[in-house]
Amino acid sequence: MLNRPRRYLFFVELDYSFEILRPLQQAARARGCEVAWFLNGPAPEYLSEDESLLKTVSEVRTFAPDAVFVPGNEVPLSFPGLKVQVFHGLGIEKKGHFRIRGMFDLFCTFGPSTTGPFKQLAVKHGWFKVEETGWPKMDPLFAADAEARTDGVKTVLYAPTFSPALTSAPALADEIARIARERDWHWIVKFHPKMEERFAAPIRAIAAPNFEVVEEARMLPLLRLADVMLTDTSSAAAEFMLAGKPVVTYRNRAPGPHLINIVRVEELEGALDMAMRGEDPARHARGRYAEEMHPWNDGRSSERVLDAVENMLINGRAGLGRKPLNLLRRFKYWRVLPR
């Protein structure tokens, strides 16, 4: 019988992970659990004074987490505890979302569109479990006390992806600059943290009183501010649609009826205008898409993640095979993490 509170470790390699994990931390603390963070990349300054930082593998082993939560693709297999994948985005159309790397014991999926494929993979591989929980990052969006816009200013959130093959920034920069000068819409630009400056520079150079580039790592406050999102093939589009708002995409890799997808730059202003008026043909399909992607709109996805983990901690890996040895992935973190 466990004679101490559950201990959970959050393994972070990119700064947008904090927005994903902090609702989970809040739910865990409410249950009396202990939470610590291990940062492989982001600076310690991202943590607040009441958040515990572990700096070495030795400290992690002493902490002895019951589970390690990961909003990324990989995790040090030398860390104690269940390895729990909570994902870094909703972009299931992106390459690698359903790739099994042999590192996780439990996948916490968003909704039917992810649960089905991962359960098929669980049957195929036989050494991990899948539970549909919803995404902790979305909890504040659906919280009863979530703030809403009241100023009436029409706002475009431009959130291009970072991939050189997919980013819309070079193609749209001049047209966005023209629209920003000629229309009274407010523009907010949120770059992906991996965006190369050569792609970001033309957007940063746009000079207009109603145009701003934000360095804020969190996406949810921006989702609340904006009326329309403009993007390309970014997973942020799915987050925006969960809020019931329209998304205009430029040459999206997997266009569907839930998106207002354009293929020519000169279509941009008309598409944004139509979306602002609420007359876009995607509005009905958008609701169906959100239901398939993330039907959990009660703000309690973090609670379901913790329940799924607790269930696995109690029942162990009953019925599951052994995970692959993964020597190369073990060696990767052995080389870079402080001992």
- Statement to judge: residues 133 and 168 lie in one domain: no
Is 109 inside a domain boundary?
A: yes
pLDDT value of position 107: 97
Residue 331 lies inside a defined structural domain of this protein: yes
Do 44 and 97 lie in a common domain? yes
pLDDT at 99: 82
Same domain, 328 and 241: no
Total domains, the chain:
2
DSSP string, 195-237: --HHHHHHHHT---TTEEEE--S-SHHHHHH-SEEEESS-THH
What is the H or E stretch that residue 250 is in? Answer: strand 247-250
CB 15 within 8 A of CB 37: no
Percent with pLDDT over 70 in the chain: 95
Q: What is the Cα–Cα distance from 182 to 208, expressed in whole angstroms?
A: 10
Range of the domain at 40: 7-141+299-336
**Contacting residues for 181 by C-beta, under 8 A, at least 6 apart:** 208
When the pLDDT of each residue in the chain is averaged and rounded to a whole number, the result is: 92
Please indicate, yes or no, if residue 161 is contained in any of the structural domains.
Answer: yes
Residue 149 lies in a domain: no
For the domain that residue 278 is a member of, what is the CATH number? 3.40.50.2000
Q: Which of 293, 310, 325 is the last residue of a domain?
A: 293
Can you give the pLDDT at residue 171? 96
136, 213: one domain: no
Element (H, E) at 10: strand 7-12
The 10s digit of each residue's pLDDT in 84-101 is 999 998 866 555 578 888
Position 230 scores a pLDDT of: 97
My answer on whether 170 and 251 are in the same domain is yes
- CATH number, domain of 29, equals 3.40.50.11820
Q: Which of 235, 199, 194 is nearest to 94 (CA)?
A: 235
Terminal-to-terminal C-alpha distance of the chain: 30
| 163 & 97 share domain | no
Domain check: are 289 and 303 in the same one?
no
User: Do 280 and 308 have their domain in common?
Assistant: no
User: Which one has a higher pLDDT value, 254 or 205?
Assistant: 205
Residue 21 domain-assigned (yes or no): yes
Q: Which tens digit of pLDDT belongs to each residue from 236-295?
A: 898 899 988 999 999 998 889 999 999 999 999 999 999 999 888 898 899 999 999 999
Please identify which residue in the block is written with the tokens 């309690």.
300
Q: Write out pLDDT tens, residues 158-201.
A: 999 999 999 999 999 999 999 999 999 999 999 988 899 999 99
Q: Within this chain, do residues 218 and 267 fall inside the same structural domain, yes or no? A: yes
Q: Which of 277, 293, 309 is the last residue of a domain?
A: 293
Pick from 6-15, 104-113, 190-199, 216-225: least confident: 216-225
pLDDT above 90 (res 43): yes
How far is the C-alpha of 139 from the C-alpha of 211, rounded, in Å? 29
Answer yes or no: is 45 within a domain: yes
- Let me know whether 210 and 118 are in one domain: no
One domain, residues 96 and 191: no
Residue 190 domain flag: yes
Residues 284, 315: one domain?
no
Q: Is residue 159 part of a domain?
A: yes
Angle between helix axes 112-125 and 283-293 (nearest 10 degrees) is 40
